[in-house]
Amino acid sequence: MNKKILLYISLASLVVAGGCTKNFNAINTDPTQASAAQYNANLLLSSQQIEYFNGTMGYSGALLMQSMWVQVLASAEFPSYYSNGDKYVASGNLTTYDASLWLHCYNSASYAYECQSLAKTAGLSNLSGVSMIMELLDIMNVTDTYGDCPFSQALQGKNSVNLPVYDSQQDIYTSMLSKLDSVLPTLDASKPLPTNDIFPYKGSVTGWQKFGYSLMLRMAMRLTKVDPATAQKYAEKAYAGGTFGSTADDAWVTFDHNDGYNNNNTSAWQTAEDFSEVKWGQNVIAYLKANNDPRLSVIAEVPKPGSDSAAMENQMGDTVYSHQIGMPNGYDQNGGATDISKAPGYPGGTGSGKTAYPTGKYSRMAIGEYINLNTPAFAINYAETELLLAEAAVRGWNVGPSASVHYANGLTAALQSYATLSSYGTIPPATISAYVLAHPLDVSSTTNSLNQINMQYWITTGTLLDFNEAWSNWRRSGVPALTPVNYAGNFTQGTIPRRQEYPTSEASTNPANYQAAVSKLSGGDQYTGRVWWDK
């Protein structure tokens, strides 16, 4: 993730339309710019990867909205830009936040699309295949967030396709799964490997195939309610192809603050106001405490007393297990009926006078685990992959070991994964083994098994800060059962948002196709609409 990715600007020379003189290119070639033949397409791979994370973290929406829609985090402030998530009330630059994932993920996909073209010209088939996988990862995040979106005609502006149609999400998923199924077997370790890969794979064909099949599994499981036959087909294909086999296969990025590439969640928390406002949700802490889960000791802390200390990122807090308290969603500090002091079980504040801190006893993200600007972020990991396989096994699909084995693998990996974010999050292996042994999968009924698996998926993705995935799987599974917030002036009539509204620019830049997509949404372009697989 170095300054090489900035060389992408040289590709501007590639998108200029051809002229009418046969020697136009020879006469007008700028000798200071790279041609398609000269440009190393590998330089675009890290651009795809980092831009994907720019679309799924921080102020791009997930931290401000999905994290609190799925009640992993909470904030007792109003007005605040966190009100968009905690209370479903438009605050701050909501339209900008709505558009961010769309813009960043399509930008990442455009790097991937261009890279495929350049790679094919250069005979770099593995790089082309890897870029296809990245493009599909991006499009999956866009369609899961908004619903129908451009795909078959997307990313083709240089080919004069400036008004792409919105494909139905059903067609998008059909195409994405088919493309993955086609491209993954073509990756070939005997051919040149991708370079400039900032995932741990460093261009390894085996690593990227496992990533691709794990992505296929994630896609397949989205369809359990709307197309279980297709879900089963591709879940079994993914397992047969080879999903992640251990945490060593995880796809993650370590950010490089010195070169200007920060973890966007921790960047937000460098702002004192943000850091003092955001807390773990009530359901998260309650679940961990009810299960005596060792993760609580590495993810949560209570700030030192008083508002001044609580705003300092270098003031580590109280990690005593019994002191951790999660904050309920939907409260403020405005003195009325929804003041946090009126919340059931309110523990009181800390400090006094100018340093009074009404939310001071609620747990926040542990500084040692989450606050470093270089903190890694996961794209997909072994823990969630095994949990999805556990669900597939519960459904009777042919995915190898029993649901209980997959679940134990997933739980073990989840507890191991906090060490990837920071050595602070290391849980002793003996502690992990004992906990997993004491908490096997409940196989007394299908319902109980599915509830336990998806609760584990929610707590794992949420506390590893993959908020989009936590929200998407909650919409699919309905687990956990969450109580919506009904704060005055909310934009969902007191229901948890099921999608994001399209960027406002779409109505003016691609109006006919935008309107055609909106016409298929019950109630129009609203947060209460449901994407195709969310039934």
pLDDT for position 169: 98
Domain boundary residue, one of 477, 494, 510: 477
pLDDT for position 35: 62
Angle at 230 between CA 229 and CA 232, to 5 degrees: 65
Looking at the fold, whether 460 and 313 belong to one and the same domain comes out as: no
Domain of residue 292, residue span? 271-370
Task: Determine the Cα–Cα distance for residues 56 and 466; give it in Å rounded to an integer.
Answer: 8
**Residue 462 domain-assigned?**
yes
- Structure tokens given for 501: 């509204």
Looking at the fold, whether 343 and 447 belong to one and the same domain comes out as: no
Helix intervals (H) in 147-204: 169-183
Task: Determine the Cα–Cα distance for residues 369 and 298; give it in Å rounded to an integer.
Answer: 7
Looking at the fold, whether 169 and 214 belong to one and the same domain comes out as: yes
Asked if 242 and 210 touch (Cβ cutoff 8 Å), the reply is yes
Looking at the fold, whether 250 and 276 belong to one and the same domain comes out as: no
Looking at the fold, whether 228 and 300 belong to one and the same domain comes out as: no
pLDDT for position 161: 81
pLDDT for position 9: 33
Q: How far is CA 508 from the centre of its chain?
A: 28
Looking at the fold, whether 258 and 339 belong to one and the same domain comes out as: no
Q: Is 302 helix (H, G, I), strand (E, B) or coil?
A: strand
| CATH code, domain carrying 132 | 1.25.40.390
**Residue 492 domain-assigned?**
no
How many structural domains compose the chain?
2
% of the chain surpassing 70 pLDDT: 93
Looking at the fold, whether 96 and 192 belong to one and the same domain comes out as: yes
Task: Determine the Cα–Cα distance for residues 534 and 144; give it in Å rounded to an integer.
Answer: 9
**Residue 209 domain-assigned?**
yes
Q: What H or E segment, with its residue span, contains residue 96?
A: helix 94-121
Task: Determine the Cα–Cα distance for residues 243 and 383; give it in Å rounded to an integer.
Answer: 11
Model pLDDT for residues 331-379, shown as the tens digit of each residue: 999 999 999 999 999 999 999 999 999 999 999 999 999 999 999 999 9
pTM for the model stands at: 0.93
Domain boundary residue, one of 436, 459, 477: 477
- For residue 98, give Cα distances in angstroms to 64, 93, 415: 10, 9, 32
**Residue 439 domain-assigned?**
yes
Looking at the fold, whether 170 and 255 belong to one and the same domain comes out as: yes
Asked if 377 and 251 touch (Cβ cutoff 8 Å), the reply is no
Looking at the fold, whether 237 and 139 belong to one and the same domain comes out as: yes
pLDDT for position 304: 96
Mark the ranges of the chain whose per-residue pLDDT is less than 50.
Answer: 1-29
Phi-psi region of 203 (alpha: psi -120 to 50; beta: other; left: phi over 0): left
Task: Determine the Cα–Cα distance for residues 281 and 293; give it in Å rounded to an integer.
Answer: 16
- For residue 147, give Cα distances in angstroms to 215, 273, 388, 515: 18, 33, 22, 13
The neighbouring-strand residues paired with 377 are 253
Looking at the fold, whether 247 and 99 belong to one and the same domain comes out as: yes
pLDDT for position 249: 98
Domain boundary residue, one of 459, 477, 495: 477
pLDDT for position 33: 60
pLDDT for position 450: 98
Burial readout 44-59 (b: 16 or more C-beta within 10 A, e: otherwise): bbbbbbbbbbbbbbbb
Looking at the fold, whether 170 and 21 belong to one and the same domain comes out as: yes
The neighbouring-strand residues paired with 278 are 75
**Residue 106 domain-assigned?**
yes
For helices 205-222 and 382-394, angle between their N-to-C axes, nearest 10 degrees:
50
Looking at the fold, whether 7 and 108 belong to one and the same domain comes out as: yes
**Residue 527 domain-assigned?**
no
